[in-house]
């Protein structure tokens, strides 16, 4: 697994997960929608922690900065 997520991408995903959790725990969202969003929030957290998005890989997407080669 080669990392394919940049810092901003990870921060946005973590922020979205926190917002979803806050909405759930304040009872703004409930039912099936809440469960689907909580699963999505969990996926966002996991992918952010490992810096790898499985959906980016087959599409060849990477939000990481290009590393410069030092000679």
Q: pLDDT above 70 covers what percent of the chain?
A: 94
Please report, for residues 38, 62, 68, the alpha-carbon distance to residue 45 in angstroms, rounded to integers and kept in the order given: 11, 18, 28
In the chain, where are the structural domains located? 7-59
Which is nearest to 6 in space by CA: 58, 46, 53? Answer: 53
pTM for the whole thing?
0.84
User: Is pLDDT at 68 greater than 70 in this prediction?
Assistant: no
What does the mean pLDDT of the chain come to? Answer: 92
Count of beta carbons in the 10 Å neighbourhood of residue 44: 20
Provide mean pLDDT across the span 3-19.
96
Q: What is the pLDDT at residue 70?
A: 63
pLDDT per residue over 48-63, tens digit each? 999 999 999 899 989 9
Q: What is the pLDDT at residue 71?
A: 63
């Amino acid at each position: 697994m080669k990392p394919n997520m940049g810092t901003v991408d990870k921060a946005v995903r973590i922020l979205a997960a926190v917002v979803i959790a806050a909405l759930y725990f304040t009872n703004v969202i409930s039912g099936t929608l809440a469960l689907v969003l909580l699963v999505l929030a969990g996926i966002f957290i996991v992918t952010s922690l490992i810096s790898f998005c499985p959906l980016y890989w087959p599409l060849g997407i990477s939000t990481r900065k290009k590393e410069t080669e030092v000679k």
